[in-house]
Structure 1
Amino acid sequence: MMMPNDDIELLALTRRYVMPGRPYLKFQGWNLRHLADADLLEFGGSFRKTSQEIEDEGLTRLLAADWRAKITASWMIAMSSRDWFGGLLKHLLWGGQEGRAALGHVFALTSFGRTQDLQCLRDYARRGVELNEWGVSHDWAIAGWKYHQARRIAGSQEAALFKTPGDAWLDSLPSPPEIDLIEFLCGFVERCGLRFVRDGSVVEPLEFFLALSGRARRGAEAWGIVPDEDARQELDRRFLSYPGVADELRAAAPLAVAADSDFRTVLYGLNPAVGEGRWVVSNSRRGIKYEALSDLDSAVELMGEWSHL
């Protein structure tokens, strides 16, 4: 597991999608259910927007991080109906190391509602029984399975594919209280979510996830990650205070992630949905100069050059 301060790209994603408003707190149980309808719709609209902005690569990186990032990523996957993440979510559940993040993975699979996703929930619940490792996420899995079972038309071809003779043990289990919660949460996603349209640059989530191991980037000799959030926020404000910063770049909401020792050369992550690049490097030793860049390698190279000015 990687923590935000271990990696530049992960920190940029965490500052943009996980830390503002701490959405993960709403996704662990009944918290969303207790919101007033107006507040629920306001949150749903805001979260739909961020779920559309983030790219598959960013979601995959968040799924390699701590539980806060994982739950947030799973819910963004559910809100944008990215069912091509089903294989990676199954891989994470089968790893058995997810803890409370498993709630997000289970719900995302439930929200997809495909036969293969629901069979994954069934198998996950069975595995919990066989290994005597039952937890809240297994209750959610049973609730999701039963919720979709009730929605299927008995005797239809779809229902026949969904249920097998070996599933009788599931019918014998009482419906957990979470079934009402799952029904509400699925309704919330249907009401507020929007399916993400993939572009030509397709990332295969599981393959990309497996390739992430050991690839953390913290900086270089003359510069590195800014570990303190208060310091990062001050760098955000400082950059936006410069009158020469273009409006288009301001709209991309630069968020500081790394700097040299005296905070004169700073690396900021940008919102890629705005189209102004992904990174911006600024230097304030003699006035202010900055350059927006599309890839991290170029930004790292420029950080090295400007840190020695």
Structure 2
Amino acid sequence: MRNHRHEPALKAVVETYVTPGRRYLQLVNTPFLSDPAARQTFGRALAGDSVRITDDELALLLGYEWRAQLTASWLVAFARRAAHRERIGELLLANERIYAGRGFCFALARFGTEADARLLVDYLHAFLPRTDRGEQDSAMGALAYLDVLLGTDHAAQFLADNGPWARWLRARCPPERADVPVSLDQFREVIQTQCSYADHCMKALPSAR
């Protein structure tokens, strides 16, 4: 198993962008989005790093473990570093890292093109029938967000009565265990909130004024 402490270049980039303030842990459940003070300071730092990090450094992070991949995907998403679209699509389809897939879905939604919607559709065709693990909720939320953005209807193919999405939702979020009903709109709104947050933070950068 790789350890970044034994690879000087990887160690430097992990210690610069991933581990300070346990950033990666903040990105798992995004508590900063509901804390006004943290929302501003965290976003300012993330936006600055998203334009400062090099493509080679992003490639190093994307080739490492889930903490690095999750952080890299947020940095890619914030600055819309679309040169990494293909790699992020490959990683999403590989479905090897729990949590990192949430960031991949956010990045594809943030790029906001038909190509990104197609990558999400490919992932959902492959993994929506599975209920063991994955980021199917984030992928459906991102696809629904892109449908609104692009005026498309890609998500419809998964939304038939007792279709793939309904079966996955029943398996992973049984109605009898939920305090409130879980819906696709909730997952779309998560992605929408993240994209709006990225827009606000990037526009606040000094270079963007």
| Same fold by TM-score greater than 0.5 | yes
Q: In the alignment, is the contact (CA less than 8 A) between 1:33 and 1:181 conserved in 2?
A: no
Contact 1:139/1:176 (8 A) holds in 2: no
The structure with the greater share of residues assigned to strand is: 1
Q: Residues of 2 paired with 1:16 and 1:84: CA distance?
A: 22
* Structure 2 CA distance for aligned equivalents of residues 183 and 96 of structure 1: 23
Alignment partner, residue 73 of structure 1: 72
Identity, in percent, stands at 26
Residue 191 of structure 2 corresponds to residue 185 of structure 1 = no
SS at match of 1:193: helix
Q: Counterparts in 2 of 1:91-106, with a 5 A limit? A: 91-106=90-105
Letter in 2 for 1:142: M
- Residue 11 of structure 2: aligned partner: 11
Which residue pairs with 2:61 in the alignment? 62
How far the C-alpha of 1:78 sits from its partner, in A, is: 0.6
1:169 aligns with 2:157: yes
| Alignment-mate amino acid for residue 92 of structure 2 | L
In the alignment, structure 2 segments of 5+ residues that lack a partner are: 166-182, 204-209
1:175 and 1:104 mapped to 2: Cα distance?
18
Matches within 5 A, 1:145-160: 145-153=143-151, 159=152
Q: CA deviation at 1:30?
A: 4.2
**Residue in 2 that maps onto 1:31:** 31
Give the secondary-structure state (helix, strand or coil) at the position aligned to 2:20. Answer: coil
* Structure 1: distance between partners of 2:156 and 2:108: 21
CA contact (8 A) 1:128 1:134 kept: no
Superposition RMSD on alpha carbons, in Å?
2.0
* Rounded Cα–Cα distance in structure 2 between residues aligned with 1:128 and 1:18: 28
Name the amino acid aligned to 1:180.
E
Structure 1 segment 208-219 matched on structure 2, within 5 A: none
Do the aligned partners of 2:47 and 2:79 also contact (CA within 8 Å) in 1? yes
**Residues 90 and 23 (structure 1 numbering): CA distance in 2 closer, same or farther, change over 3 Å?**
same
Tell me, in whole angstroms, the C-alpha distance in 2 between the residues paired with 1:126 and 1:33. Answer: 31
Matched, 1:109 2:97: no
Matched to 1:189, the amino acid is: A
1:134/1:34 CA distance change after superposition, 3 Å? farther
Residues of 1 paired with 2:185 and 2:25: CA distance?
Answer: 22
Greater percentage in helix: 2
Query: Aligned-pair distance for 1:125?
Result: 1.5
1:170 offset after TM fit, Å? 2.6
Q: Is contact 2:93–2:123 with CA below 8 Å preserved after alignment?
A: yes
User: How many residue pairs are counted as aligned between the two chains?
Assistant: 182
2:135 corresponds in structure 1 to 137
Amino acid across the alignment from 1:27: L
Task: After the TM superposition, list the runs of 4 or more consecutive aligned residues in structure 1 that deviate by more than 3 angstroms.
Answer: 133-136, 171-174
1:178-197: CA deviations, max 9, x gaps? 22211110101111126xxx
Aligned partners of 1:124, 1:72: CA distance in 2, in Å? 21
Amino acid in structure 1 at the alignment position of 2:101:
A
Equivalent position of 2:49 in the other structure: 50
> Structure 1: which amino acid aligns with 2:135?
S
Stretch deviating more after TM superposition (27-36 or 67-76) = 27-36
Q: 3-state SS of the aligned residue for 1:99?
A: coil
Preserved contact between residue 14 and residue 68 of structure 2 (Cα < 8 Å): yes
